[in-house]
Amino acid sequence: MKEERIVVTINANGTMTAKTTGIKGERCIEELEALLSELAELDEIQHTREYKEKDAPVKNASQQRQRLGGGNQ
Amino acid sequence: MSGVWREQSVPMTDKECALLALEAIGAVVTDHSETQCSLRIGGRSWTMRHTNGRYAIRYNPRNRGSRPSWMDGLGEAYAHQIALKQERLARREQVATLDADRRAIQQERAAMETERKALIETRKATVIKQAKALGYRVKETVQNGEVRLVLVKTG
């Protein structure tokens, strides 16, 4: 079974880090944005090999989640 | 692994230090209230708002080149101001002879600590809420003041 995992760490000084595994392509950025964009500016996401792989095609486009978007200024 | 993101600078929780840091990088504060601050820097007007436990000046990070260069300077200036404030409070506490003075300093330091903890709690609660809305299971652990949230979605 396919597993998508995100580990979010909130350090003692309040800074955050996030690492994703099992999420391919643009969905990696979309998931991080949906999760964290309310809290911080998601600049400089480092992409790894898996990011460059294409995700399996989505059967029903209407089931795709709407992206929440980034900062507001 | 498909993506790694690290927050660039320490979130600004202390308003006094945030305003001093803005001044240090050449910003002109034109107006400020308890939760909002209008300023001009780099020939543009910006707004700093207190939201989700921190003071933030937001921009669109997906628009390449939109991160203003002074933002890096702001993070450094804020960290510097926090260090200066801690030193200032320590020095004042050393020379304080009256109990009332010492209590005031301790309250100021406690307020900074409260802001830091509130930021962490706000961030944790927001991530958990968003993760659940996105269909993730969440496992939380805390070690040495560091909160680790493991989000898993299977399908």
The ipTM is: 0.86
Residue A68, domain member (yes or no): no
Nearest CA to CA, how far is A59 from chain B (Å)?
Answer: 14
Range of the domain at A46: 5-58
Residues 28-57, chain B, touching A (beta carbon < 8 A): 46-47, 52-54, 57
pLDDT score for B123: 97
Residues 83-142, chain B, touching A (beta carbon < 8 A): 116, 119-120, 123-124, 126-127, 130-131, 134, 136
CA torsion A72-B1-B2-B7 (nearest 10°) is: 20
Residue A66, domain member (yes or no): no
Give residue B63's pLDDT band: very low, low, confident or very high (50, 70, 90): low
Judge whether A43 is closer than 8 Å to chain B, CB to CB.
yes
Give residue A51's pLDDT band: very low, low, confident or very high (50, 70, 90): low
Residue A73, domain member (yes or no): no
Give residue A68's pLDDT band: very low, low, confident or very high (50, 70, 90): very low
- Whole-number average pLDDT of chain A: 74
Residue percentage of chain B with pLDDT more than 90:
71
Q: Kindly list the residues from chain B whose CB atom is less than 8 angstroms away from the CB atom of residue A5.
A: 150-153
Give residue A43's pLDDT band: very low, low, confident or very high (50, 70, 90): confident
Nearest CA to CA, how far is B27 from chain A (Å)?
Answer: 17
Q: Is the pLDDT of residue A52 over 80?
A: no
Residue A70, domain member (yes or no): no
Q: Is the pLDDT of residue A17 over 60?
A: yes
Most confident of A42-51, B96-105, B118-127: B118-127
Q: Is the pLDDT of residue B95 over 60?
A: yes
Q: Which of A16, A21, A70 sits opposite B1 (nearest CB)?
A: A21
Domains held by chain A: number: 1
pLDDT score for A60: 40
Residue A32, domain member (yes or no): yes
Judge whether A67 is closer than 8 Å to chain B, CB to CB.
no
For residue B65, is it left (φ>0), alpha (ψ between -120 and 50) or beta? Answer: left
Residues 11-40, chain A, touching B (beta carbon < 8 A): 11-24, 28-29, 31-36, 38-40
Cβ pair B46, A71 in contact under 8 A: no
Residue A18, domain member (yes or no): yes
Q: Which of B5, B53, B54 sits opposite A18 (nearest CB)?
A: B5
Domain parsing of chain B, residue ranges: 15-152
